[in-house]
């Protein structure tokens, strides 16, 4: 009887030990993945180390036309779309730009390429989202839709191909008078984006 009882105990303990081992392996693997492969929280804070790397996240909120809040694993990060500028809050087209960005990526899974951080601590990124069945550069799309203009003082770190694409899409938006280029003639280039804030002479929204 004692032998049978011992065998019964082993029959219970053996699956339990396997289950505990599996949980431990998964936990260690997740920790190692985040610490060494993904970089972990401390590595993530070193923006210079992250330049050019791609991460996956889910957009949880679109704050304005160039800023989004994303969930990346168990962290929330604030991303700013790199090398473009949208009308500031209170400007004529600021809400249009926010809604335009929300339509493209709100609630979606995205990939973002890290460049650096701005003075507010936001991660300057190029965002890619699945739009119309293909992965699309959202920064470029926002310019092409007339929701943003190009920050030429801040895009020297981009490849010449990306710079040319941004320039081409801005010219197209201007020619078609899309978005912020439509209601009034663009003013001469200003210091904010090395020339192209067409909102300077528009009425503010209160």
* Domain match, 116 and 160 both: yes
In a domain, 42, yes or no: no
* Domain match, 80 and 33 both: no
C-beta atoms surrounding 108 within 10 Å: 14
In a domain, 115, yes or no: yes
pLDDT at 12: 58
In a domain, 47, yes or no: no
pLDDT over 60 at 20, yes or no: yes
pLDDT over 70 at 11, yes or no: no
* Average pLDDT over every residue of 7-23: 65
In a domain, 16, yes or no: yes
* Domain match, 15 and 78 both: no
Helix (H) or strand (E) holding 59: strand 54-64
pLDDT at 34: 42
pLDDT over 80 at 5, yes or no: no
In a domain, 190, yes or no: no
pLDDT at 27: 53
Mean per-residue pLDDT over the chain, rounded = 76
pLDDT over 60 at 43, yes or no: no
pLDDT at 118: 87
In a domain, 199, yes or no: no
Number of domains forming the structure of the chain:
2
Q: What is the DSSP letter of 153?
A: G
- Grade residue 199 by pLDDT with cuts at 50, 70 and 90: very low
pLDDT at 47: 42
For the ranges 21-25, 30-34, 127-131, the lowest mean pLDDT is seen at: 30-34
Over the range 115-145, which residues count as b (16 or more CB within 10 Å of their CB) and which as e? bebeeeebbbbbbbbeeeeeebbbbbbbbbb
* Average pLDDT over every residue of 3-30: 60
For the ranges 135-139, 192-196, 201-205, the lowest mean pLDDT is seen at: 201-205
Residue of 107, 100, 117, 139 whose CA lies nearest to 47: 117
C-beta atoms surrounding 168 within 10 Å: 13
- Could you give the CA distance from residue 121 to residue 186 in angstroms, rounded to a whole number? 31
pLDDT over 70 at 202, yes or no: no
Q: Which domain holds residue 58?
A: 52-181
For the ranges 29-33, 42-46, 137-141, the lowest mean pLDDT is seen at: 42-46
Q: Is the pLDDT higher at 194 or at 164?
A: 164
């Amino acid at each position: 009887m004692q032998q049978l009882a011992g065998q019964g105990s082993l029959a219970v303990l053996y699956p339990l030990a396997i289950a505990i081992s599996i949980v431990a392996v998964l936990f260690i693997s997740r920790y190692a993945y985040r610490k060494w492969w993904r970089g972990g929280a401390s590595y993530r804070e070193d923006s210079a180390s992250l330049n050019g790397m791609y991460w996956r996240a889910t957009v949880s909120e679109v704050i304005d036309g160039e800023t989004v809040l994303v969930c990346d694993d168990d962290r929330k990060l604030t991303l700013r779309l790199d090398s473009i500028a949208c009308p500031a809050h209170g400007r004529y087209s600021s809400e249009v730009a926010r809604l335009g960005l929300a339509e493209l990526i709100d609630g979606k899974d995205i990939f973002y390429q890290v460049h650096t951080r701005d003075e507010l601590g936001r991660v300057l990124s190029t965002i890619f989202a699945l739009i119309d069945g293909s992965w699309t550069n959202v920064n470029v799309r926002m310019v092409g839709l007339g929701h943003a203009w190009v920050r030429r003082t801040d895009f020297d770190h981009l490849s010449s191909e990306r710079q040319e694409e941004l320039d081409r899409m801005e010219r197209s938006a201007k020619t078609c008078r899309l978005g912020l280029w439509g209601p009034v003639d663009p003013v001469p280039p200003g210091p904010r984006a090395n020339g192209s804030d067409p909102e300077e002479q528009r009425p503010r929204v209160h």
